[in-house]
Amino acid sequence: QVQLAESGGGLVQAGGSLRLSCAASGRTDSSYAMAWFRQAPGKEREFVSGINWSGGVTFYADSVKGRFTISRGHAKNTVDLQMNSLKPEDTAVYYCAARSGVDLVRTSGSRYDYWGQGTQVTVSS
C-alpha cells in the first residue's frame, strides 16, 4: 500500500503562484508514475499533469501548459506542482495520484491506484 499526502494549497489572487507538494509513503520500492488531477465544484475530475519515475517524461493538460511545472524529488517519492499565473478557473481541489508499479503516465484517473486526500486551491479574481 502507498499513502499520498498533499500540501501547499491555499488562497491566492489571480496572477499569483502556489506550489503543491505530494509525498508518498508505505510500499514505495518500485518505480511508478505520479500525477496531479483536479476537481472543481460541479465538474468532473480532470488530469492536470503527470510525470514518470525518472522525471524525464512529463505531460500537461492544454489548460495549464506554460503555467504549471511538475517535478519529481531526488528521492523519487515526492512530486511537486509549481503553479504560476494562476487564473480563477484553476480553482479546484487538487489530488495527487500514483500508479501501482507502473511507470507510464496516463491521463485517465482510472489508471491510478493511490490517491491523496486533496488540497484546496482557490484563485480570486
Phi/psi of residue 23, nearest 5 degrees: -115, 130
* Residue 67: C-alpha distances to residues 18, 63, 113 (Å): 11, 9, 27
- pLDDT mean over 107-123: 97
Report pLDDT for 28: 67
Q: 10 pLDDT exceeds 70?
A: yes
**Order of all β-strands in the sheet with 2-7:** 2-7, 18-26, 78-83, 68-72
Summarised one tens digit per residue, pLDDT across range 35-79 is 999 999 999 999 999 999 999 999 999 999 999 999 998 888 999
Report pLDDT for 75: 81
Determine whether 87 is exposed, middle or buried from the number of CB atoms within 10 Å of its CB (0-12, 13-18, 19+): middle
Q: Which residues face 82 on adjacent strands?
A: 19, 69
Summarised one tens digit per residue, pLDDT across range 16-47 is 999 999 999 987 668 899 999 999 999 999 99
- pLDDT mean over 81-108: 96
